[in-house]
Structure 1
Amino acid sequence: MLALAIAAALIACTIGTPTCWAAASDEATTALARKVAELIGQLDAPRLADRDAAEKVLMALGPEALDVLPRGEAKHSAEVKQRLARVRRQLELAFAKSAAKASLITLADAERPLSEVLAAIAKQSGNPLVDGRKRGPEGKPPADPRIRVAFDKTPFWPALDATLDAAGASLEVRDAQGDDPLRLVVVERGETAKPRASDAVYRGPLRFAVVGADVKRAADDAETLARIVLKAAWEPRLKPIALSLAAKDLSAVDDQQRPLRIASAEAQWATSSLGGQGAMRLTLPFVLARGDAKSLAVRGRMAALLAGANVAFRFERLSETRPGAAVASQKMGDATVRLESFRRVGGRWLARVRVIYDNPQEAVQSHYDWLYESRATLTAVTEQRKPVEYDSQAAEDGVIATYAFAAEDADKPGELTLVYSTPAVIMTVPFEFEFADIALPR
C-alpha cells in the first residue's frame, strides 16, 4: 500500500515541475509516517505473534524510516520502548552499511554530450563533478564531445571511468581548500596515459589503482626493495572517519610465486577524510627474494571506519553542575553520551561531553578529530547558540569534547537545553583489493 501511495503521487507529476516533485516527496513522507504509526500501535497488540510481525515490518522499511520513527516515549509501554530501540538500532546499522555500498548509476543507451553524462552521474551519486579541462580561445568552454554509454545500476567508479575513457579524459581528486569543497575534476588525459578502467580495482565506494613502481637498494645495501605506489580514492559523499591499511593485511608474491615480506612488519598507513581529503597514496615496500623479479602480485585489505546517521541527544532544563553531582547520561543505538559538567565561567557556558560506543574502535580514539563532524547547540528559551570554542581529546573509554557557548545576563538555570548530535553507530568495513601483475622496471 505504501509503494502504491508513493507511485500514485509520482505519476501525477511531470518532469520540469519541481513544486510537484516536492509535494510528491512530502506525500510519500506523510504516508511513511502514517504506516510507522500504525505499526507502532501493533507493537502493543494482545498477541505476541502480532507484536513480532509488526517489529519485523518496521525493520523491513529500511533506513528511510529513521526520520519518522519515534523514540520510546512516556506513553509507550516498556515492551514497546524495547522493541523501538531494537528497530532503531537495526535501521541505524543498515544506514551505516548502505554507505559502504557504491552509488549506482543508470543511464539509457544513447549518444549524449559529455557534460550531460557527467551531470547525470553527479546527480544520481551525490558526488560533485567539475569540468576542469582547458578553455578555448577567449575563454570559450572546453569541447563537449558526444559519447555513447549505457549504465544499468552500474557502480559509480566504473561508470565514471567508462565515461572518461569514452571522452579521452581523465580525473583529478582535489582536496578541500578554504571555501572550496572536495571535488572530482575532469581533466585532459595525457598522451601516454592508459585508459582509467584498464588498471583500476573497484570495491564498493572505493577505487584502487597502482600509480607507480620502482626497484631500489635499501640504505644498508643489504636488501632490494620493490616499492609499489597505491592510490585509493573514495566517493566524496562517503566521508569516512578514517581509512587504514596494516602491514599484516598485505601479502605479495613475485612472478616466480616466491612470497615477499614487507620491509616493516609493523607499518600502518592511515588517513581521514575530515580534513577534506578524497584519496590516499601509499608506498608499499616489499623485500625482493631475488633481483630477477619481473612483476609482483599484491593483495590487501583496507579498513574503513564509517559512521551511521546522526542522532540528537537532548539535555534539558540544565543548571550548573556541582562537584560530585550525578552525571546526566543518555544512550541511543551503540552510543552513550554523558554530560559530565555544565557550568558558567565568566561570560561563557562550558559543557563537557563524553562519547562512548558499545564496541570501541581503536581508530575512534586515534582519529578523534572526527568529532568535528558532530554538532552541539545551546538553546535559551527560543534562541539557539552555536559554540564559540571547541576542544576534543581521546579517553580510554571514548572521546571527550568540551564546548564553550556565549552566556547572557538573562540566562536562567533550568531554561537551558544542550543538544548534541553524533552518530548512533560506528562500524569498521573491510575492502579487499588485488593486483595480479604489477610490472617492475628493469
Structure 2
Amino acid sequence: MSLRKYAIGLMSLGMLVAIAGPVRADDEELTAQVEELVAELDADTISERDIAEQNLLRLVDVEGVGPQKFLAVLPKPNDNMPPAVRERLASIRKMVEQRLASQAIEASKVTLEAVNWPLEEVIKKLEELTGNKIIDNREAEAAAASPQIILKVENEPFWAVMDQVMDQARLSQYAYAGEDALSLMSRSEGEGQRFGRACYEGPFRFEVTEVSATRGMRNPSNQSLRLDLEIGWEPRLRPIALTQQMSRLDAITPDGEQLAPAQEQRVFNIEVQEGTCASTINVPFELPERSVEEIMLLGGTITALVPGKREEFRFDDLKSKEPIVKTLGGVKVTLERVVKNGEIWEVHMNLELENDNGALASHRGWVFNNITYLVGDDGEPIDHAGFETTKQTATEVGIAYLFDLPEGIDGLSWVYESPVSIVEREYKYQLEGIKLP
C-alpha cells in the first residue's frame, strides 16, 4: 500500500482508521500527500477539516516518516493562507515539535558488537548512533596507542555503553570541554571503574563521586556528612536547568533508618553552562552514628528543563518601518527595528515564549547563547560584536545585537536560531552501597 493511497483512503472513508500493516514513505509521496491534506484544512465543513488535521498527524507515525521528516515537509503558516489553515498548521506543528522534544529527552540506545575495534572506530560509531559528539583529548603519545575494544550490547543507554568503553580504554571524563561534547582524557592513577558505580536514567548519569564527614573538635555540634553528587547528561541534550530539592532526596541506611537532611528546605538550582556535560552538587546530611558504615540506598528526583527542536527565523526586510513578527511552535520572534547608532548598527529583537515551563522566569542564559548573525548573498555569516538586554519579563526577553557594518545593511538578512519548545521532565534515580568514611 502506498502512502498516498493510504491517506486518500482515510479521507474518502470520512473517518480515521489504524494502519493495517507497515507503510513506508518516500519524499515525493510524503510531500504530495501533505500538500493535499493541507488543502483539505480549508474544506467546507468542520468535520472534513478535523479529519484532514488528524490524518496529517497520523502521517508522523508512518514508517519512514517520523517527526523530523514530517516537519521538514509541512508548510509553515504564512499570511497568504486562510486564517483557519494558518491556525491549524500552527497547532499541528506545535504538537509535533512537542513530541520531537519529548523524544530528545529520552536516552539514546545503542546496539553494537565490536570485537577488537580500535577506540577511534568505536567513538565514531557511537557518534553516528546517538548524535553525541565525543572528543579524544588525550596527550598525543597516549592517543597514538589506540586501545582495542571488545563490546557487545543491545539497546543499552548511551552512558552505560560509554562507561564500559572508558573502563576498557582507561579513560576519564573532562566535563568542561567548552563545547557540547564528551571530552575524554587519560585516567589518573588509582581511579576506579565507572561502570557499576552510576545510575542511568533517561539521558542522565548519576554518581556519588566523593563523601566527606566533618566532626568539630572544639565545637562538637559542628558536624555534617556531605555527598558530591555528579549529574551528567548526553552532550546532544544541552539542558537549560536542573533542579534537585532536598525534600525529594532520601538516604537509607542498612537498618532502614533515613538520614536527616541538614537543610531540608534547600533547593539546588543548576543553570547549565554552555560547553559542559556534567555538574556536581554538594548534598548535606546530618552526620550519623559511627556504627553506620554505608548508605544502602540514595534515591532522588531531579527536574530537567530541556530545549526541543531548534528552528531558524529569517528576516529579509531590515529596513521595515514596522515590526516583523514570526512564530514557530511556542516561540514568537519579533524584529522590532534596525537602527544606526554612530558607527554601529543595532538589531533590536524580542523573544516571547508560550508555555515555557518557567524557562524565562528563572533561567535566561540559554537565550543569550542562541545563535544569531547577519548574512548576505555570499552566504558568509557576520557575527555580532556584542549585545544589550533591553527587556526582561517572565515570558519575554528583548535584546539589541550590535554589528559593525562599514558598508551598511543593504542586501543583508538577519537570522536567529532558537528552540521552539521547552520541555520539563522529572527523572528518578537510585544509587546503592555508598561507603561512609
Q: Same fold (TM over 0.5)?
A: yes
Secondary structure of the residue that 2:238 maps to in structure 1?
coil
Return closer, same or farther for 1:74/1:394 CA change in 2, 3 Å cut-off.
closer
Q: CA deviation at 1:63?
A: 2.3
Q: Find the partner of 1:156 among 141, 145, 158.
A: 158
Q: Find the partner of 1:145 among 140, 145, 148.
A: 148
Secondary structure of the residue that 2:221 maps to in structure 1?
coil
Counterpart amino acid of residue 162 in structure 1: Q
Q: CA deviation at 1:72?
A: 1.7
- Distance in 1 of aligned mates of 2:398 and 2:419: 15
Partner of 1:14: none
Return closer, same or farther for 1:187/1:29 CA change in 2, 3 Å cut-off.
farther
**8 A Cα contact 1:239 1:274, kept in partner:** no
**8 A Cα contact 2:324 2:335, kept in partner:** yes
Partner of 1:18: none
Q: Does 1:268 align with 2:271?
A: no
Counterpart amino acid of residue 225 in structure 1: S
Equivalenced residues, count: 406
Structure 2: 5+ residue runs without aligned partners?
5-24, 61-65
Q: Does 1:278 align with 2:277?
A: yes
Secondary structure of the residue that 1:303 maps to in structure 2?
strand
Counterpart amino acid of residue 301 in structure 2: R
Q: CA deviation at 1:44?
A: 3.1
Return closer, same or farther for 1:199/1:402 CA change in 2, 3 Å cut-off.
same
Listed one character per residue, the Cα deviations across residues 276-324 of structure 1 (whole Å, up to 9, x for unaligned) are: 1111122111013544322223222222221122233445534476xxx
- Distance in 2 of aligned mates of 1:181 and 1:311: 18
Q: CA deviation at 1:85?
A: 0.8
How do 1:314-325 and structure 2 match up within 5 A?
A: 314-315=314-315, 317-319=317-319
- Distance in 2 of aligned mates of 1:135 and 1:418: 42
Q: Comparing 65-74 with 355-364, which one deviates more in the overlay?
A: 355-364
Return closer, same or farther for 1:386/1:212 CA change in 2, 3 Å cut-off.
closer
The normalised TM-score by structure 2 is 0.80
Q: CA deviation at 1:146?
A: 4.8
- Distance in 2 of aligned mates of 1:217 and 1:140: 44
Counterpart amino acid of residue 53 in structure 1: I
- Distance in 2 of aligned mates of 1:372 and 1:31: 40
Q: Comparing 195-204 with 288-297, which one deviates more in the overlay?
A: 288-297
Q: CA deviation at 1:162?
A: 3.0
Listed one character per residue, the Cα deviations across residues 3-45 of structure 1 (whole Å, up to 9, x for unaligned) are: 89xxxxxxxxxxxxxxxxxxxxxx9555543342233233234
- Distance in 1 of aligned mates of 2:145 and 2:416: 46
- Distance in 2 of aligned mates of 1:2 and 1:434: 47
Return closer, same or farther for 1:34/1:374 CA change in 2, 3 Å cut-off.
farther
Return closer, same or farther for 1:133/1:337 CA change in 2, 3 Å cut-off.
closer
Q: Comparing 61-70 with 78-87, which one deviates more in the overlay?
A: 61-70
Counterpart amino acid of residue 176 in structure 1: A
Listed one character per residue, the Cα deviations across residues 222-252 of structure 1 (whole Å, up to 9, x for unaligned) are: 1532211111111111111222323233232
Secondary structure of the residue that 2:291 maps to in structure 1?
coil
How do 1:26-425 and structure 2 match up within 5 A?
A: 28-46=26-44, 48-60=46-58, 61=60, 62-64=66-68, 65-108=70-113, 110=115, 112-131=117-136, 141-147=144-150, 149-165=151-167, 167=168, 169-177=170-178, 182-185=181-184, 187-188=186-187, 190-191=189-190, 193=192, 195-217=193-215, 220-288=219-287, 290-296=289-295, 297-315=297-315, 317-319=317-319, 328-378=324-374, 385-392=382-389, 395-397=392-394, 398-407=396-405, 411=409, 417-425=413-421
RMSD value, Cα:
3.4
- Distance in 2 of aligned mates of 1:411 and 1:216: 62
- Distance in 2 of aligned mates of 1:185 and 1:130: 6
Counterpart amino acid of residue 35 in structure 2: A
Structure 1: 5+ residue runs without aligned partners?
5-26
Secondary structure of the residue that 1:198 maps to in structure 2?
coil
Q: CA deviation at 1:433?
A: 1.2
Q: Comparing 62-71 with 226-235, which one deviates more in the overlay?
A: 62-71
- Distance in 1 of aligned mates of 2:349 and 2:401: 8
What is the identity percentage for the equivalent residue pairs of Structure 1 and Structure 2? 26
The normalised TM-score by structure 1 is 0.79
Partner of 2:14: none
Listed one character per residue, the Cα deviations across residues 131-175 of structure 1 (whole Å, up to 9, x for unaligned) are: 456776xx882253352x22222221112223344x263431342
Higher helix share: 1
Secondary structure of the residue that 2:256 maps to in structure 1?
coil
Secondary structure of the residue that 1:199 maps to in structure 2?
coil
Q: CA deviation at 1:253?
A: 3.0
